[in-house]
Chain A
């Protein structure tokens, strides 16, 4: 029998950005909140030896221990899913702050088009533009309704940026000015402007200057140390839940964090959640935490997995297209980019920051005409200078051998002479892409792993080839002496790193037939259960996800507070 603890108002499963924002906002409303986090405690002092490429970037010090839990993957239902035994395609966060500790901080808003993608696509191109199997849908919320929440997340984190000339309307400017501009960024901007494109400074959570937010959290300016993506920030400059929302929530006296607490089931009777069951991984003890409201903030995979394991909601069935839990898993089309080699110029590429760069959206969303193109949506195109580290970066022009004397000479020569222009391509959902429980493989507790069924489609191949060419054109204008353009997307391969931008599985929408949660991220089927994260995205845009995750978390917090104070029922 599990030990049963006294009931609290709210229990949160996972304490990353999602969990941290919910905790901060709900404690402000006077609610008592318990945060259960499977990983360990974290603080800035931990990063004394953080400038270590091997330990953090290549041995994944801060990420989930795959020996205990992983995912399984297959490209389609005809083949057997097998476990992701080693890291590759994406990196899963764990511990206090989650992936918010080791993210880059590139903080983009989605486009107005994204939230009404289906109706806007049909309006401009007709229904035929959408392939049969492509299950895009409107989000049940508009950009204008999202705007105030974006604004709050950006003020929380102090985003440094300048207005995107092709983005949605902003109610206020970014809280801090853009980051510093490097010579290579300037070259990108000049080239793009000559090509009549609209470059702007990448919105950054790394902080161009010292910033104090409305909750009294003060953070130092970024030092461009080049150890950002996959690392924790020793200066507290990078916005991270551990240096923003978590201390604020703790200070309220109403937030209790329990680390090493692995949640295994959501408990429920009838249509209501009653709490969660978790294991204290330090003792093995099983503990029941009853709560009036349960909030899942355990990232895309465990949000979906915990619902399926707990038999909550209607599991998605790709054969009939019915059911919603696991539906519309999507990712990102990253590979359609280009690398330029510059014989004459050496750049200080060792210096950089996680979200230092320039971006343009001329080929993103529906900012360009798709009438003659065989895909919808698009990609943001960026040059970013995140800090080139020596083990992982050995750029050599096409045709150079992979090892030996010539490789050595070229990789040394071009280490500071190669610039990548990359596309962050959107990812549309398809009927045959989904998440469910694996029938064979299990985690350290014996629970089934989540199974991904996903592959790239013709839409993605067309998109990648298109954006790769655009990246190549920009590099040409930048004066690169040799340009390698990556037009071929190939099948989805779980081994090379692409991005930790997994989306879908517990999607939002305007009605329960097509979505699992409403626009407050409240489960249609379980009114006191809220599911927060990129799991709510019905498709993925041509940007990084976290601004939208943060904005949705703010909106959900508002909904939860309303629900807690009202007489229950669905908020929409």
Chain B
């Protein structure tokens, strides 16, 4: 997938980059990330090892049934095609699972005090439910709707039937009382894209293949050499893991 022949820039490790750039760091600002990095010891030479299993691919929040629904839905939102892998292969559903298990799932950095009143759309989310609770309900309702309509659970449907269900949620054609169907769909769509494109450290964007599809080089140290170039510069991506171990 990496188009080595077209590559004009080699990804540089932090250490090498800092040595090459002769970077000047703040006078009064002692140290800095860059400074402290220069002092760290070089990592041991890489050894060829057999591919280890991905220990990250286990569930922190979803039940296996919930996971199946979410995985199938993310794949319809971002399907595998001639451009490359879809959300399923990229691990977006694991990403969502892991996110729901933490701060984001608990809305812990958001204002969740009452009183709760329905507001105008321009006032934003005003519900009392946390994201994990919205997912619980939304997933259940997707199965309910699928069963009512096609006598099958969501993940057992044909892809075009699944699209129909998702559209019914997106357009609020599904009438729900506890949550907004379209609000749930929006969250599902947004978190699918996060799972496809966030740093692989979070469990999605497996092998950085989401980034490769978009010709996104990940988080390189610097683009001073690229910034003025007229030609598109393709690079093999680097991730935060490379920042720590590179």
Contacts and interface: CB of A to CB of B under 8 A. Distances in A.
A224 interface: yes
A389 B210 CA distance: 12
Contact of B194 (A54, A88, A219, A235): A54
B223 A348 contact: yes
Contacts of B81: 405, 408-409
Interface stretch (B48-56, B135-143, B229-237): B229-237
A539 to B, nearest CB: 22
A52 B199 CA distance: 7
A394 B112 contact: no
B113 A442 contact: yes
Given A223-B224, A493-B122, A67 B32 contact: no
Interface in B206-246: 210-211, 213-217, 219-224, 226-230, 232-233, 240, 243-244
B154 interface: no
Nearest to A403: B77
Interface in A464-479: none
Given A59-B104, A348-B227, A348-B232, A225 B222 contact: yes
Contact of A346 (B27, B170, B232): B232
Interface string A54-85: 10001110000111001001110001101111
B10 interface: no
Interface residues of B, number: 76
B163 interface: yes
Contacts of B244: 48-49
Contacts of B223: 223-226, 348, 350-352
A391 interface: yes
A10 to B, nearest CB: 22
Contact of A44 (B31, B123, B194, B226): B31
Interface in B102-137: 103-104, 107-113, 115, 117, 119-126
Contacts of B166: 403
A234 interface: yes
Interface in B62-110: 76-79, 81, 83, 86, 103-104, 107-110
B26 interface: yes
Contacts of A402: 170, 189
B194 A58 contact: yes
B117 A210 contact: no
Interface in B1-54: 21, 23-29, 31-34, 36-37
Contacts of A53: 197-199
B123 to A, nearest CB: 5
Nearest to A59: B104
Given A80-B117, A235-B34, A416-B232, A390 B210 contact: yes
A408 to B, nearest CB: 6
Given A85-B124, A415-B215, A495-B122, A408 B83 contact: yes
Nearest to B210: A390
A70 B124 CA distance: 13
Given A182-B227, A216-B27, A415 B33 contact: no
B33 A51 contact: no
B109 A67 contact: yes
Contacts of B215: 346, 415-416
B32 A236 contact: yes
A219 B76 contact: no
Contacts, number: 220
Contacts of A43: 29, 31
B199 to A, nearest CB: 6
A347 B232 contact: yes
B193 interface: yes
Contacts of A441: 111, 113
A180 B244 CA distance: 29
A348 B214 contact: no
A67 B227 contact: no
Contacts of A70: 111
Interface in A452-495: 491-495
A495 B124 contact: yes
B61 interface: no
B197 A180 contact: no
Interface string B160-190: 0001001000100000000000000000010
B224 to A, nearest CB: 6
B26 A243 contact: yes
Contacts of B111: 66-67, 70, 83-86, 441
B202 interface: yes
Contact of B226 (A248, A348, A442): A348
A216 B117 contact: no
A248 B28 CA distance: 8
Given A60-B109, A390-B211, A405-B81, A84 B124 contact: yes
Contact of A217 (B27, B123, B219): B27
Contacts of A82: 117, 119, 123-124, 126
A183 interface: yes
Contacts of A83: 111, 113
B226 A351 contact: yes
Given A390-B214, A405-B81, A44 B109 contact: no
Given A79-B120, A346-B232, A390-B214, A408 B26 contact: no
A218 B163 CA distance: 56
A45 B83 contact: no
Contacts of A329: none
Contact of B27 (A212, A223, A411): A212
B109 A66 contact: yes
Given A54-B198, A74-B123, A390-B210, A67 B222 contact: no
Contacts of A74: 123
B240 A44 contact: no
Contacts of A242: 29
A247 interface: yes
A45 B31 contact: yes
B23 A220 contact: yes
A251 interface: yes
Given A83-B113, A226-B223, A251-B28, 15 more contacts: A44-B33, A47-B33, A51-B219, A88-B124, A218-B26, A218-B28, A220-B25, A221-B24, A224-B227, A225-B222, A225-B223, A248-B28, A391-B196, A402-B170, A408-B83
Pairs A-B, 10 closest by C-beta atoms: A51-B219, A351-B223, A218-B27, A223-B222, A390-B197, A346-B232, A44-B32, A54-B198, A236-B26, A493-B122
Interface of B: 21, 23-29, 31-34, 36-37, 76-79, 81, 83, 86, 103-104, 107-113, 115, 117, 119-126, 163, 166, 170, 189, 192-194, 196-199, 201-202, 210-211, 213-217, 219-224, 226-230, 232-233, 240, 243-244
25 contacts: A43-B29, A45-B33, A48-B37, A49-B243, A50-B33, A51-B240, A52-B201, A67-B107, A83-B111, A85-B111, A86-B125, A88-B124, A183-B228, A183-B230, A218-B24, A235-B34, A243-B26, A243-B28, A402-B189, A403-B77, A404-B79, A405-B81, A411-B214, A416-B215, A495-B121
